[in-house]
Amino acid sequence: MKILIPNIIREWNNIRKEGGLIHLFKQKGPVVLLVFFLFYLIRDSILYILIPLLIVKETITCI
């Protein structure tokens, strides 16, 4: 089964493999940091805010 990976992530991964993280940051700049920040912001918002809120409102039940 082939894992679906967006082309931009493949490109960034190839750059990282060739020259390391410093080369990736030099070539792509703050876009990499922005994408990284937004990914974790969305993920953590779902894990630590949305799911507990839904549990408290009894939309999601643990039983």
Identify the pLDDT of residue 23. 93
Q: How many CA atoms lie within 13 A of 52 on its CB side?
A: 5
Cα–Cα distance measured from residue 28 to residue 12, given in angstroms and rounded to the nearest whole number: 8
Identify the pLDDT of residue 62. 66
Identify the pLDDT of residue 54. 84
What is the mean pLDDT of the segment spanning 9-30?
92
Q: What is the DSSP letter of 19?
A: H
For residue 22, pLDDT over 70 is answered with yes
Residue spans of the domains in the chain: they are: 7-56
Confidence class for position 57, pLDDT limits 50, 70, 90 = confident
Confidence class for position 20, pLDDT limits 50, 70, 90 = very high
